[in-house]
Amino acid sequence: MISVEQALDTVLSSSGAPEKAAVRTAAAAGLVLAEDVLSDIDMPPFDRSAMDGFAISGEADEHRLLEEITAGDARHVTLRPGVGCPIMTGAPVPEGADRVVMVEHARVDGRVLRVECVPAPGANICWKGEDIRKGEVVLSRGTRLSGQHLGIAAMAGRGVLQVYRRPGIGLVTTGTEVVPATWAPAPGKVRNANLPLMESILSMNGFTDTVMLHSSDDPDSLKETYSQLLDSCGVLITAGGVSMGTRDFVPSVLESLGVDLLFTEVAQKPGKPLTFGLGPAGQPVFGLPGNPVSVLVSMEEYVLPLLRRMSGLGSFRKRTFHGRMMSACCKNPGRLHYLRVKATEADGPAWTLHLPKTSGSGDLMSTSAVNALALAEQDLPAVSEGDLLPFHFLSTSAGELSFE
């Protein structure tokens, strides 16, 4: 049995280099940029008016007006002192103009412009290249792409971007006793909570390329299911069948398919039988314990950090906060305990951590109002009211705040 730190280090060191892919700019939201993006033009590409008004030259308060310049106008217009022209927002500023008068600061009498408040030189003009110069880096490698980033990429002339690919994920739940959520379970049967739990955690974190299957606790069925996914997915995550029961065949079946198991037990609660290895093609393979709270903890503490690192994200380890326990609880010595808690802000540097009532790692209802996992360290003999504990926010509660 290895420590939590050893287990996480083993998982993260198995991620390999993120894979690159060329993606249409409009489809790259949320992905991580795998290249620097340089602008192929100055931005703005010409001197342009920042608002509707009148382009003028010099500080005179009366000007003879020429024809209006509109956005997209390609005519060559030259102004001299005493001559101006109406101009639209975004239209090219004519040669010789050195400022734009706002509409509300001017009066027009026929073809004569009278300026009531002469602006300073350069007023209301966006000069060519003042935002970005041609050849300048507008987006840096490692940027997680937002909508505004993609708009900038388009301004820089890019219709396709090199990004880091999110891995395709195979999800498997196991158990002869497990039936679909829509079925009325017969005696001895339980509904499948783990599959929607895993899928939703992945989806809310941007990992939507998933294939989902279920297998009975039968070596042949397991072998057929895993073979399909090991051939097609970049990461395999299976829940259930990894403990010490007579029907827990998952580790041996995975090994028979060429998976090199790197650990099969972690000094933690819940989730002691957490299993991890590398498939024949080097793909990460997780064997999660079947109890739903163990699945939640494993997904948050191990699976998501790995998937984020594989996707090129610089923030992939869980960010650690500290909070004060508002009640005591039992703790087994020798294992780190993940305590499901509701973290609330308090005066001072620490949060307050509230424990729900729970009946164990199968009690998913106890997690419905929690937003964090408190870490009662391996060598801590007990958890008392008032203890200051480190904690991690659940990604589904705090999003990007959850990761360093």
- In this prediction, residue 346 carries a pLDDT of 83
Mean pLDDT for 268-291 is: 96
- In this prediction, residue 364 carries a pLDDT of 87
Strands 284-288 and 275-278, how do they pair?
A: antiparallel
Please determine, for residue 66, whether its predicted confidence score (pLDDT) is greater than 90: yes
Please determine, for residue 401, whether its predicted confidence score (pLDDT) is greater than 80: yes
Confidence of residue 280 (pLDDT cuts 50, 70, 90): very high
Closest CA to 237 of 275, 208, 268, 267: 275
d(CA 57, CA 99): 7
Instruction: For 171-186, write each residue's pLDDT tens digit.
Output: 999 999 888 889 988 9
d(CA 176, CA 189): 8
CATH assignment of 321-402, given 3.90.230.10, 3.30.1330.10, 2.40.340.10, 3.40.50.2300?
Answer: 2.40.340.10
- In this prediction, residue 363 carries a pLDDT of 84
Structure tokens at 217: 């606790």
- In this prediction, residue 365 carries a pLDDT of 87
Closest CA to 128 of 214, 199, 39, 56: 39
- The torsion angles phi and psi of 144, rounded to 5 degrees, stand at -85, 120
Closest CA to 68 of 84, 80, 81: 84
Mean pLDDT for 296-304 is: 98
- In this prediction, residue 38 carries a pLDDT of 98
- In this prediction, residue 366 carries a pLDDT of 85
Is the distance from CB of 93 to CB of 125 less than 8 angstroms? yes
Asked which of 35-49, 256-270, 291-305, 355-369 is least confident by mean pLDDT, the reply is 355-369
Closest CA to 169 of 199, 214, 193, 192: 199
Please determine, for residue 265, whether its predicted confidence score (pLDDT) is greater than 90: yes
Residues 6 or more apart whose CB falls under 8 angstroms from that of 347 comprise none
- In this prediction, residue 359 carries a pLDDT of 64
48-126 falls under which CATH superfamily? Molybdopterin biosynthesis moea protein, domain 3. (2.170.190.11)
- In this prediction, residue 140 carries a pLDDT of 97
**Kind and range of the H or E element at 85?**
strand 83-87
Residues 6 or more apart whose CB falls under 8 angstroms from that of 37 comprise 137, 138, 139, 152, 153, 156, 158, 161
Closest CA to 33 of 153, 206, 168: 153
d(CA 53, CA 231): 64
Strands 372-376 and 388-393, how do they pair?
A: antiparallel
Count of Cβ atoms closer than 10 Å to residue 109 Cβ: 9
- In this prediction, residue 390 carries a pLDDT of 97
Q: What is the mean pLDDT of the chain?
A: 94
Residues 6 or more apart whose CB falls under 8 angstroms from that of 192 comprise 173, 178, 179, 180, 181, 214
Confidence of residue 243 (pLDDT cuts 50, 70, 90): confident
Asked which of 9-23, 35-49, 196-210, 356-370 is least confident by mean pLDDT, the reply is 356-370
d(CA 274, CA 290): 10
What percent of the chain has pLDDT above 70? Answer: 99
Confidence of residue 348 (pLDDT cuts 50, 70, 90): confident
Give me the residue spans of the domains in the chain: 4-19+166-310, 32-42+133-164, 48-126, 321-402
- In this prediction, residue 54 carries a pLDDT of 98
- In this prediction, residue 295 carries a pLDDT of 96
Beta bridge partners of 84: 65
- In this prediction, residue 361 carries a pLDDT of 67
- CATH topology for 4-19+166-310 is Molybdenum Cofactor Biosythetic Enzyme; Chain A (3.40.980)
Query: In the sheet where 20-24 sits, what is the strand order?
Result: 20-24, 160-164, 32-33
Confidence of residue 76 (pLDDT cuts 50, 70, 90): very high
Please determine, for residue 144, whether its predicted confidence score (pLDDT) is greater than 70: yes
d(CA 118, CA 388): 64
d(CA 297, CA 288): 10
Alpha helices, DSSP H, located in 134-181? 147-155
- The torsion angles phi and psi of 51, rounded to 5 degrees, stand at -165, 170
Confidence of residue 268 (pLDDT cuts 50, 70, 90): very high
Confidence of residue 6 (pLDDT cuts 50, 70, 90): very high
Mean pLDDT for 138-163 is: 97
Please determine, for residue 340, whether its predicted confidence score (pLDDT) is greater than 90: yes
